Amino acid sequence: MSYSLVVSADLDNVTDMMPLNTPEAPFEFTFRVKCTTCQEVHGKEITINTFEAHDISGSRGSASLVFKCSFCGSRGTKNISITPTNLKLTNDDSQRHKQIPFLDINSRGCEIIQFIPANGYFTCSGLDSSTTFDEIDLADDEWYDYDDNSSNEVSITNVKWDFIRVKGRKY
């Protein structure tokens, strides 16, 4: 199953919101998952980053996550990647209430049921200035600050995360 993690939010005096994700400081995408065989929700949150790859037992391949259900023993894998176009949520997208894909996910044997923005930071830029805001914590689905260069309050509010199934995508 292939799907994308999408986001929409209200951006006030900022633009280009995206995960802060580098090999030196990878964004740890945190999810709640369930087994597609027995439908049991895994008891712990799962963290995955785009720079790790784990060998799949009995295969020549690798995956961002290799999962074994603690209830039924079924195995599953997940591959994640930042969207190929490196989309950012812009102020224009926010005004149109547009959902922007941040992450492409290819999943087998387990399904992601919730994204938890708790183990990574986001970055954005001032709308009317050159100010860069790093280390934005969206764990509470909102963020507030002040842009000294433009003398404006800045914020990200009403953050909504969702998953959209994608048919026919090839990885």
pLDDT digits (tens, 9 = 90+) for 62-105: 888 888 888 898 888 878 887 765 578 888 988 888 898 888 88
- Residue 171: inside a domain: no
Say yes or no to pLDDT of 147 above 50: yes
- Residue 15: inside a domain: yes
Q: What's the mean pLDDT when you consider all of the chain?
A: 88
- Residue 111: inside a domain: yes
Distance, C-alpha 129 to centroid of its chain = 26
Identify the burial level of 36 via C-beta atoms within 10 angstroms of its C-beta, where 0-12 means exposed, 13-18 middle and 19 or more buried.
middle
Length of the chain as a residue count: 171
Residue 34: partners with Cβ closer than 8 Å, 6 or more residues away? 40, 41, 42, 110, 111, 113
Domain that holds residue 98: 2-165
Tally of domains in the chain: 1
- Residue 170: inside a domain: no
* HSE toward the beta carbon, residue 124, CA cutoff 13 A: 28
